[in-house]
């Protein structure tokens, strides 16, 4: 989404100025307000200057969404290693919902499958979620596979934000996001540290999280163990 050829400091500053102005217009007035003429006027430059950096309006919107999301993801990634993994997961959920409600236009752009799929910042955001879920799994507190947990959390979080954004602010249910989080965590988290007497899946998922680092096993043995544990985690008879 960003030009790969080297740019001078002056060109970089001009590009950053364009993106910052466009981001302000997007936040204040929505995507329809981000026209070449409006951005150029607000940035104090001629409209043709915009086209030296961005092929069209869509390219500019991509850059704006990436800029806003990258700033958010950088802050989201700052989690202490020693923090409680479940608390960190909840903090990430709250931050995701807060970001979406505070940046409806950007969130709308990123939920477009075409744009979101090519966003480096969106990919980085999912990586942060995967890391947090992995820490929960390593603590033995996950009753489903890590992949299933990530997909459920991501889908629920995106759905909750979109539902709230589609509702007039004065009609929004302030407890909707919390209720959605509780529903998801009831399906993916164990009630206590592992291994619970009736929770073989939690134990399998916890071992799967550390399987790549187990000593005394060959690469093929680790791969086979991981395959077995993935099957156990996905087996509905064991709660996965």
Q: Residue 15 is inside which H or E element, if any?
A: helix 9-29
Handedness of CA 68, 28, 33, 166 (dihedral sign): positive
Q: Which of 43-47, 66-70, 129-133 has the highest mean pLDDT?
A: 129-133
The contacts found for 162-166 with CB under 8 angstroms, 24 or more apart, are 162/100, 162/107, 162/111, 164/97, 164/100, 164/101, 165/100, 165/101, 165/104, 165/107, 165/108
% of the chain surpassing 70 pLDDT? 83
Say which range, 70-79, 97-106, 124-133, 148-157, has the weakest mean pLDDT: 70-79
Say which range, 2-6, 126-130, 176-180, 213-217, has the weakest mean pLDDT: 2-6
Q: Is the pLDDT of residue 227 over 50?
A: yes
CB neighbourhood size of 28 (10 A): 9
Handedness of CA 81, 82, 85, 87 (dihedral sign): negative
Q: Is the pLDDT of residue 12 over 70?
A: yes
In which residue are the tokens 């086209």 written?
51
Q: Is the pLDDT of residue 103 over 90?
A: no
Q: Looking at the whole model, is its pTM more than 0.85? A: no
Alpha-carbon gap, residue 29 to 33, rounded angstroms = 6
Which phi and psi (to 5°) does residue 196 adopt?
-65, 145
- Split at pLDDT 50, 70, 90, the class of 234 is low
Partners of 142 in beta bridges: 189
Partners of 189 in beta bridges: 142
Q: Given this model, what pLDDT does residue 115 score?
A: 65
- Of 124, 123, 140, nearest to 85 (Cα)? 140
Which two tokens mark 96? 């995701």
DSSP 184-215: HHHHHB-SSSSPPTT-HHHHHHHHHHHGGG-T
Say which range, 22-26, 100-104, 213-217, has the weakest mean pLDDT: 213-217
């Amino acid at each position: 989404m960003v030009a790969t050829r080297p740019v001078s400091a002056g060109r970089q500053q001009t590009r950053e100025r364009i993106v910052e102005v466009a981001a302000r217009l997007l936040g204040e007035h929505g995507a329809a307000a981000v026209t070449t003429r409006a951005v150029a006027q607000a940035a104090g430059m001629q409209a043709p200057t915009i086209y030296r950096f961005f092929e069209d309006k869509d390219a500019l919107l991509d850059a704006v969404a990436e800029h806003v999301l990258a700033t958010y993801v950088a802050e989201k990634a700052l989690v202490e290693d020693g923090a409680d993994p479940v608390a960190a997961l909840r903090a990430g959920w709250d931050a995701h919902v807060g970001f979406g409600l505070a940046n409806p236009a950007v969130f709308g752009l990123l939920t477009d499958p075409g744009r979101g799929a090519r966003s480096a910042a969106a990919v980085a955001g999912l990586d942060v979620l995967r890391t947090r879920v992995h820490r929960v799994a390593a603590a033995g507190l996950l009753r489903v596979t890590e992949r299933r947990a990530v997909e459920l959390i991501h889908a629920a979080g995106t759905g909750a934000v979109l539902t709230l954004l589609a509702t007039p602010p004065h009609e929004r249910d302030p407890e909707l996001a919390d209720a959605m989080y509780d529903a998801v965590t009831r399906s993916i988290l164990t009630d206590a540290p592992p291994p619970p007497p009736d929770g073989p899946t939690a134990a399998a998922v916890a071992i799967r999280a550390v399987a790549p680092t187990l000593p005394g096993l060959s690469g093929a043995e680790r791969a086979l163990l991981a395959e077995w544990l993935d099957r156990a985690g996905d087996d509905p008879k064991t709660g996965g």
